[in-house]
Amino acid sequence: MKFLFCGDIVGRAGRDVVIKEVPRLRRERALDFVIVNGENAAAGFGITSKICGELHDAGVDCITTGNHVRDQREIMPYIAQDKRLLRPINFPPGTPGWGANLFQTTRGQKIVVINVMCRLFMDAIDDPFRALDVELAKYTLGGSVNCILVDVHGEATSEKQSVGHYCDGRVSAVLGTHSHIPTADAWILPGGTAYQTDVGMCGDYDSVIGMKKEIAVQRFIRKMPGERLAPAEGEGTLCAAIVETDDRSGSARSIHPVRIGGRLPSTALNS
């Protein structure tokens, strides 16, 4: 199986580059499945049902989120009905929506996507490690399912790395989101799990983590309330990872970071 995982979409710049590039990548890279993190897609804060529809129309199979999932209140009835839009699995019981789902590709492969959120420097929520144990007990990698992906949404690199090692050998990939900055540690862990601490954002990098740099910088300088943060509106960069797995074992064969368009140097994909 070969899947594409795109990092946090930030505003229109992020939406535009994802909607532009995903159909081409699906075709040229023969992708079986596409996942994006959409929690900052609506003007930098949350996501709407309309945006979900636009992403699905572009070829996105599953949308993950994080701590901003509820910023647009209209999404709550929608997320309670559409299992293609996930929220962190370790949100308190009774929170609308699902934290994981089993999907089937057009070739019949079964892939589980799990959305989990960390706790260091984040909201006080349930234990992500325990939540992962409960969900992973439902499946046998390489048996009942061909692939398991974990979107680990967190601030601390140490906590995300710990999730990666904790899941090594039990899932196909652990890919990080939330910091909006791509890390240079894409590799396959000893147990066969593809890992990257943060795949980066899809948005305008002439910014402060996707937001207009002038407003963000002044917040640090003045330490006073000011203009509301708003997404930068320049050309977006798509930051993602392509992971190829073995359908029989579920282990990762390769992981390749992807950067296309915008300010960051583009990557060359050779597989």
Single out the catalytic residue among 68, 153, 178, 180: 68
Confidence at residue 270, expressed as pLDDT on a 0 to 100 scale: 54
**Pick from 259, 254, 269: nearest CA to 239:** 259
In whole angstroms, give the CA distance from residue 24 to residue 3.
14
- 268 found inside a domain: no
Give residue 110's domain range.
Answer: 2-260
186 band by pLDDT with thresholds 50, 70 and 90: very high
Q: At 106, is the secondary structure helix, strand, or coil?
A: coil
Task: Give the count of domains, the chain.
Answer: 1
pLDDT of 7: 98
Q: Is the pLDDT of residue 196 over 50?
A: yes
What is the predicted pLDDT for the residue at 165?
98
Question: What pLDDT is stored for residue 175 in this prediction?
Answer: 98
Confidence of residue 245 (pLDDT cuts 50, 70, 90): very high
Q: Which of 72, 49, 52 is nearest to 60 (CA)?
A: 52
Candidates 179, 182, 185; CA nearest to 161 is 185
Would residue 265 count as lying in a domain?
no
CA 196, 120, 9: angle at the middle one, nearest 5?
A: 50
DSSP-derived 3-state class of residue 104: strand
Is residue 129 a part of any domain in this protein?
Answer: yes
User: For position 269, what pLDDT does the model report?
Assistant: 64
Predicted TM-score (pTM) of the model is 0.96
Domain annotation covers residue 271: no
Whether 179 is in a domain gets the answer yes
User: Tell me, what CATH number does 67's domain have?
Assistant: 3.60.21.10
In this prediction, residue 271 carries a pLDDT of 47
Q: What would the pLDDT profile of 118-129 be if each residue is shown by its tens digit?
A: 999 999 999 999
CA-to-CA distance for 5 and 29, rounded, in angstroms?
A: 13
pLDDT single digits (tens) 77-87: 999 999 999 99
SS3 content of the chain, % helix, strand, coil (to 5): 25, 30, 50
Whether 236 is in a domain gets the answer yes
DSSP string, 236-267: -BEEEEEEEE-TTT--EEEEEEEEESSSSPPP
Is 68 an active-site residue?
A: yes
Residue-wise pLDDT tens digits, 158-168: 999 999 999 99
- 91: in domain: yes
More confident residue, 225 or 212: 212
Of 122, 127, 149, 143, nearest to 61 by C-alpha is 149
Which pLDDT score is estimated for 224?
A: 75
Q: Is residue 266 part of a domain?
A: no
What average pLDDT does the structure give for the chain? 96
**Mean pLDDT across the stretch 160-181?**
98
| pLDDT, position 228 | 87
Structure confidence by residue, pLDDT tens digits, 11-51: 999 999 999 999 999 999 999 999 999 999 999 999 999 99
pLDDT category at 225 given cuts 50, 70, 90 is confident
Mean pLDDT computed over 233-251: 97
Which DSSP state fits 136? H
Two structure tokens written together for 242: 């392509």
